[in-house]
Amino acid sequence: MQSEGRKGVVRSLDWWTVGLYLILVTWGWFSVCGASYDFSNPDVFSLDCNSGKQLLWVGTSVCLACVLLLIEKRFFDSTSYYIYIVMIGVLLVTIVIAPETKGSRSWLPIGSFMKIQPAEFAKFAVALAIGKYMDRYGFNIHNLKDFARVVGLVLLPMVLIVCQKETGTALVYLAFFLVLYREGMTGAFLFSAFAAVVYFVVGLRFCDDFISDMPVSIGEFTVLLLAMLFTIGMTFVFCRNALAVKIMFFGGVGVTLVAYLFSAYVIPFNVCYVMLAVNVAIILYLIGLAVYTRLYTYLLITLFAIASTSFFYMCHSMFDALDDHQRVRIEVLLGMKEDIRGAGYNVNQAKIAIGSGGFEGKGFLNGTQTKLKYVPEQDTDFIFCTVGEEEGFIGSSAVLLVYLLFIWRLIFVAERQPDTLGRVYGYSVASIFLFHLFVNVGMVLGLTPVIGIPLPFFSYGGSSLWGFTILLFVFLRMDAERNLKKR
Amino acid sequence: MKDHILESRKFVIGGIALIIVVTYIIRLAFLQLMSEDYKTYADSNAFLNKVLYPSRGGIYDRNGTLLVYNQPAYDIMVVMREVSGLDTLDLCRTLGMTKEEFDNRMSVIKDRNKNPGYSTYTQQLFLGQIPAEEFSVFQEKLFRFRGFYVRERAIRRYRYSHAAHVLGDVAEVSPADIESDEYYQSGDYIGKQGVERSYEKYLRGEKGVEVLLRDARGRIQGHYKNGEKDRRPVPGKDVTLSIDLELQKLGERLMEGKKGSIVAIEPKTGEVLCMVSAPTYDPRLMEGKQRGKMMARMGRDPLKPMINRAVLGTYPPGSTFKTSQALTFLQEGIITASTAYPCSHGFRFGRLKVGCHGHAAPLPLQPAIATSCNGYFCWGLYYMFGNRKKYPSVQDAMTRWKDYMVSMGFGYKLGIDLPSEARGMIPNAQYYDKAYRGSWSGLTVVSISIGQGEVLLTPLQIANLGATIANRGYYITPHVVKHVEGAQLADSLLEKHKTMVDSKYYEYIVGGMRKAVTGGTCRAADNSMYEVCGKTGTAQNPHGKDHSAFMGFAPMNDPKIAIAVYVENGGWGANYGVPLGALMMEQYINGGLSPESERKAEEFQHKHVSYGLSSEVRPVLVNKNREEKKTATDDSSDSE
């Protein structure tokens, strides 16, 4: 039985994923070589340099993967809560005993030369725990209590990691909301979050720009217009009340258009006041509908409309309340400020390094930007620069495409799981990789804020590589058992 | 079990991944394929822009004597990967540094955060600004220190120990300097004080650049485009001061052991002939690396040698101010030249009394100036401020008075071409309204008429008053630079300022000041060679003994020099002010001192004023014995 199970595992293991994993890890190792190469010490296998150490991590990761494939799903199924509790305990202990390194308290020293970052392993525990919880009989995501508990399981480690001053790592846990969406959480949540980001970016970026010849702030105008259109759109999607949608759309857009034309050709005035009035009218209309139809949904949409309309103004007061350096970071990101020496230095150097790579790159070990160490953190968070500079557009797009295939494959595998635990866990893995890719590469390309999280399999570091390997191979073992269970 | 609606959400999540990856690939295309900008930026990183420093302009005195010049100094560079078998202790001893300093410096060089672009293949700055004499020791041993190289860099040198405050000094730019002018990069030098600061733009020249190519190892591969982009540095412009070195030297000698200032101006041009601020310091002590230490030491000195008292010290002008009062009263018609006021050992009005020394009374204007009668000017101000026919209120009278003072260059900065200047103090009506809550009269403020009370002037303003009288009614903005190579002086420095008083009234004052020399308070300044005009000042002050002051000019009918002498706590104007002023004028007009005057100068050089400090005003920082036998190899290590 045991031996047959093992043979089954090898046969039904998803070799596609394993192959992509090996490609990424190998590619990652070469990138670390490029980033940390020192011409005065040309031995890339030496344990004195990062490439040598990374090779050690890769080797141990592969061993670790093999060991994980031997552990049956049953084990994780029955111990998931304990693993979660132990992980929370470790995170707590870390806050207390970890020495401060680079402003955070997230590294736990083990022995004299090794340090591990428990936060990298906690993702795995959370994925297991929510999978187990949602697999429970009678779990219903629309039940407020169930939903709150799942969210609680995610938020608890998040808060602890924020306490370790690793806000970036904590943000990764937002990826779990994508899993909840797959499991039935209403898309309105995701859409609201998306809308909030759009309002924030557009509102702040174009706040001080004005439509030509009119005293109208582009930011304010756009945010109010989007708030109106989003609200109408949600009414259309969730309530399917064609009449109400027509009234709101033609009324709202019509009044806005008239006001805009009046301002443009007759007397210039601030159109935003009219927009504000239109939005208030729509809100009142929705409240009316809610009372009339007694539909709960209208109330939620009203809430969305109120939040959307007031968001721009709240953002501004919040933005003003931020610390100077945080504000500068956001302003630099939105392109409102040039700050080559300060907050924008890393990103600017990263862009230069990537941009100078051109179509086919400068060749392995020939990147001047990364070799001369203009790019900080170039073998950890900014590893993608090395890829961009030395392998050019071809290499860096290829890395992104391999990642896309990898994530798609994970989604495919997750969908074929026979139970909720497997599926939720699988989606967690896919979402976490997606989030890391999104933030890390986006940061290097200057599209997302500078949040220090690694690019899986590429960034130098044992904790992250082990963490991702554990995350992935526990899932692959679960997947390998999909047929066993049926039997 | 399977919910197909929910299963379709895999397309949403997969779609999000697709959108992200596609967006990023588009962005990559923009960065890597569309835009050449980043390649250029990368070039500027991978290229090494080697700065070529221009030589800073020299500074000369008005007769063409070189005062400040550049001397080669050396930066010591290190190429890390070539360092081998280094005898660290020997190196430290040779360069006069400790082992800790060495380790510290090495770790800073290797720290990529502090030293971006670091490469073990290229030269890194190890130690900067080594003067020639220290360097020669190092050079002898250079062959023993493998991996160490030398780069030439100029150091600012001063040939004389004089005019420290006017010349100023140079030092490494501060972050604020870099912020305010993008010309500067960290490590550059900038004028910090004096003319070095105010004429920085002319003196500094323009940096050049060599564009060198680097490979991924940081090694230099040669000039970019065969040096097409290289730029030669443009040397700085020479600046000629209006200062007369010999006069400055004498002034500093005479002020030894005293606090105060001597300022002399050529009335016709506004050129400052000497600007002595005592105690002073030896500018040679501020050369190169020693500057930081010296600054700290002088900052702690209770006598504050760093302050240029000639433009930053504000003092009660005492009786020298009376001339300005007489002019005002004459122009306003309060008095005529023959108006006489009584004085019985001072000005008495009810309980108010301003004392005066014994002299015949009543006196008309010119004898009143000659004997410096306090009573005369108090009465003048009393009648002016009390004249309700002319001025509806005392405030109006005050405002009128203040306008006169401002037109004579008091109460505001004169606009001299030095980085900082005090404006002094001329009170106005609002000031007294506030101080006395609106109830005040000419009597309340009568002491301003004799240069006491709230009135404060800088020595420069007093000298400028002398120049104005010498010119019979106007002054040119005083300035310390006579000429800048290949450039015009700023218009504001050549501007003629007319006072509100007609030149005919000035003749009375000139006469009065002449009488003071021939038969009044300034008799000691009289000589047979040329006609001196002068006015003493004895200023009461809260810091002890009276300040001794003198304001004058000569010759009377073709003034070549106007001068102000101010000796803190020197007592009567005749104690220090007059004799010092007389010696200075003699030096400038005759081009030297007679043997008798030389003896007198010697006497005053060693006559010190006690300021009740444990350390007597001592020329700790001025070493007059090291006279100017200076050559390029001179050093400043024996300063103490």
pLDDT per residue of chain A (487 residues) written in tens, 0 to 9: 444 556 677 788 899 999 999 999 999 999 888 887 766 666 777 777 788 888 999 999 999 999 999 888 889 889 999 999 999 999 998 888 877 776 677 787 776 667 788 888 899 999 999 999 998 888 888 888 888 999 999 999 998 988 887 777 888 898 999 999 988 888 888 888 888 878 877 777 777 777 766 777 888 888 888 888 888 888 888 878 888 888 888 988 899 889 888 888 888 888 888 888 888 998 898 888 888 888 778 888 888 888 888 877 777 777 776 666 667 766 766 666 655 545 566 777 788 888 888 888 877 777 766 666 566 677 788 889 889 888 889 999 999 999 999 999 999 999 999 888 999 999 999 999 999 999 999 988 888 877 778 999 999 888 889 999 999 999 999 998 887 654 4
Position A6 scores a pLDDT of 61
Q: Torsion angle, CA of A293/A298/A303/A306, rounded to 10 degrees?
A: -90
Report how far residue B547's alpha carbon sits from residue B573's, in angstroms, rounded to the nearest whole number.
8
| Three-class DSSP category at B372 | coil
B265 and B203 fall within a common domain: no
Total count of domains within chain B:
2
| SS3 label, residue B172 | strand
Closest to A90 in 3D by CA, of A60, A122, A54: A122
Nearest residue to B249 via CA among B587, B531, B477: B587
Task: Tell me what percent of chain B is helix, strand and coil, each rounded to the nearest 5.
Answer: 40, 20, 40
Q: What is the pLDDT of residue B636?
A: 37
- In sequence order, what DSSP letters do the residues of A350-385 get, joined into one string? HHHHHHTTTTT-S-TT--HHHHTT-STTTTTTTHHH
What is the band of B326 on the pLDDT scale with cuts at 50, 70, 90?
A: very high
Judge if B367 and B427 occupy the same domain. Answer: yes
Which among B10, B38, B81 has the least Cβ separation from residue A356?
B38
Residues B345 and B423 placed together within one structural domain of the fold: yes
β-strands B148-158, B66-78 pairing? antiparallel
Task: State how far residue A392 is from chain B, nearest Cα, in angstroms.
Answer: 7
Residues B443-497: pLDDT tens digits? 888 889 988 889 999 999 999 999 999 999 999 999 999 999 988 888 889 999 9
Residues of B in contact with A424 (CB under 8 A): none
Contact between residue B310 and residue B460 where contact means Cβ atoms under 8 Å apart: yes
Pair (B231, B312) in one structural domain = no
Residue predicted with more confidence, B58 or B361: B58
Percent of chain B clearing pLDDT 90 (strictly above): 42
From chain A, the residues in CB contact with B218 under 8 A are 371-372
Consecutive H or E run containing B538: strand B533-541
User: How far off is chain A from B175, nearest CA to CA, in Å?
Assistant: 13
Phi-psi region of A425 (alpha: psi -120 to 50; beta: other; left: phi over 0): alpha
Instruction: Indicate whether B601 and B474 sit together in one domain.
Output: yes
Average pLDDT over residues B70-94: 83
Supply the mean pLDDT for chain B: 85
Query: Does the residue B118 lie in any domain?
Result: yes
**Kind of pairing between the strands at B239-241 and B59-60:** parallel
Shared-domain flag, residues B119 and B192: yes
pLDDT of residue A361: 81
Q: Is residue B215 part of a domain?
A: yes
Across the interface, of B13, B20, B42, the residue whose CB is closest to A178 is: B13
CA–CA distances in Å: residue B346 to residues A191, B343, B372, B547: 93, 5, 11, 20
Is residue B90 over pLDDT 90? no
Q: Work out the average pLDDT over B274-289.
A: 87
Residues 347-366 of A with CB under 8 A from B: 348-349, 351-359, 362, 365-366
Say if residue B437 is in the same domain as residue B527.
Answer: yes
Our CA-based measurement puts residue A366 at a distance from the nearest CA of chain B, in whole angstroms, of 6
Q: Which domain holds residue B417?
A: 258-269+307-479+488-605
Q: Report the DSSP beta bridge partners of residue B425.
A: B456
Q: Give the residue with greater pLDDT, B244 vs B439.
A: B244
Which structure tokens are listed for A70? 């031997």
Q: What does the pLDDT read at residue A298?
A: 84
- CATH classification of the domain holding B211: 3.90.1310.10
Same domain, B222 and B262: no
- Locus of tokens 């006017």: B166
**B326 plus B227 within the same structural domain:** no
**Residue B284 domain flag:** no
Calculate the CA dihedral of residues A251, A255, A257, A259 and round it to 10 degrees: 180
Residue with tokens 């100094």: B73
pLDDT at A41: 64
**Is residue B10 in a domain?**
no
Across the interface, whether the CB atoms of A447 and B9 are under 8 A apart is answered no
Highest mean pLDDT among A424-428, B41-45, B107-111, B539-543: A424-428
Q: For residues A357 and B32, is the Cβ–Cβ distance under 8 A?
A: yes
Residue B265, judged by CB atoms within 10 A of its CB (0-12, 13-18, 19+), counts as buried
**Which ipTM was obtained for this model?**
0.86
- Residue B239, SS3 per DSSP: strand
In a domain? residue B506: yes
pLDDT number for residue B634: 38
- Residue B40 confidence (pLDDT) above 70: no
Quickly list H helices, A214-321.
218-239, 242-265, 271-293, 296-321
- pLDDT tier, B500 (very low <50, low <70, confident <90, very high otherwise): very high
Mean pLDDT of B122-138: 80
Pick from A175, A144, A146, A143: nearest CA to A158: A175
Question: B595 with B244: CB under 8 angstroms?
Answer: no
Helix (H) or strand (E) holding B446: none
Task: Say whether both B265 and B192 belong to one domain.
Answer: no
B640 pLDDT exceeds 50? no
Would residue B392 count as lying in a domain? yes
Q: What is the pLDDT of residue A243?
A: 86
B58 and B203 inside one domain: yes
Tell me what the mean pLDDT of segment B265-273 comes to.
95
Give residue-wise pLDDT tens across range B199-246: 999 999 888 888 776 665 566 666 766 777 788 889 899 999 999 999
* CATH number of B407's domain: 3.40.710.10
Q: How many CB atoms lie within 10 A of CB A244?
A: 20
Token pair, residue B319, equals: 């009786």
Is residue B46 situated within a structural domain? no
Cβ within 8 Å of residue B480, ≥6 positions away: B166, B195, B241, B242, B243, B271, B272, B275, B416, B417, B418
Q: In the prediction, which pLDDT does B620 show? A: 42
pTM of the model: 0.59
pLDDT digits (tens, 9 = 90+) for B376-387: 999 999 999 988
Q: Give pLDDT, residue B638.
A: 35
What is the token pair recorded at A316?
Answer: 């501004």
How does DSSP classify residue B85?
S
Q: Are residues B99 and B186 in the same domain?
A: yes
| Cβ separation A372–B45 shorter than 8 A | yes
Interface test with B, best of A36, A102, A345, A352 (most B CBs within 10 A): A352
- pLDDT (0 to 100) of residue B631: 36
Q: Identify whether B28 is part of a domain.
A: no
pLDDT digits (tens, 9 = 90+) for B159-183: 999 999 999 988 877 778 877 887 8
Element holding A390 (H helix, E strand): helix A383-415
**pLDDT band for position B374 (50/70/90)?**
confident
Q: Does A388 touch chain B (CB under 8 A)?
A: yes
Q: A349, A368 in Cβ contact below 8 A?
A: no
Mutate to test the interface with B, among A349, A372, A400 (most CBs of B within 10 A): A372
